[in-house]
Amino acid sequence: MSYSKYKYEQSKKEREQNKKNRNKETKEIRFKPFIGIGDYNNKLKRIKSFIEDKHKVKIVIRMTGRSNFENADLLMNRILLELADISKVESTPKREGRTIIALFQPI
């Protein structure tokens, strides 16, 4: 086997590996604890389309002002219930300072 043919085979294998890895992007969606119904539905529709396209989705609920964690926990639980049938939780919701972060991956 000549060296040029070997190089060609190696580049061909790398292209195949890159095709497989390209779908593993992580998308991030940010919420605030007080969100309107229409905005919530739009973001949820966007999350579902990302999951159907085989992307991981990172959901961030950021606290602002005097908002408390009770509303943020309720929102995160509502999101968990809505996405339970099409995704699974990769990392459970965690509090980091004034944010709550959860990571979902497609089934």
Does 8 reside within a domain? Answer: no
Q: Domain span at residue 42?
A: 24-106
Q: Is the pLDDT of residue 23 over 60?
A: no
**Measured distance CA(22)–CA(40) in Å, rounded:** 28
- Give the DSSP H or E segment for 102: strand 99-106
**Measured distance CA(62)–CA(18) in Å, rounded:** 34
Most confident of 15-19, 21-25, 36-40, 61-65: 36-40
Q: Count of domains in the chain? A: 1
Using one digit for the tens of pLDDT, what is the confidence trace for 46-90? Answer: 999 999 988 999 999 999 888 888 999 999 999 999 999 999 999
For residue 66, what is the DSSP state? Answer: T
Global confidence as pTM? 0.73
Most confident of 11-15, 18-22, 40-44: 40-44
Reading the block at residue 68, the tokens are 């408390």
Percent of the chain with pLDDT over 70: 95
Does 75 reside within a domain? Answer: yes
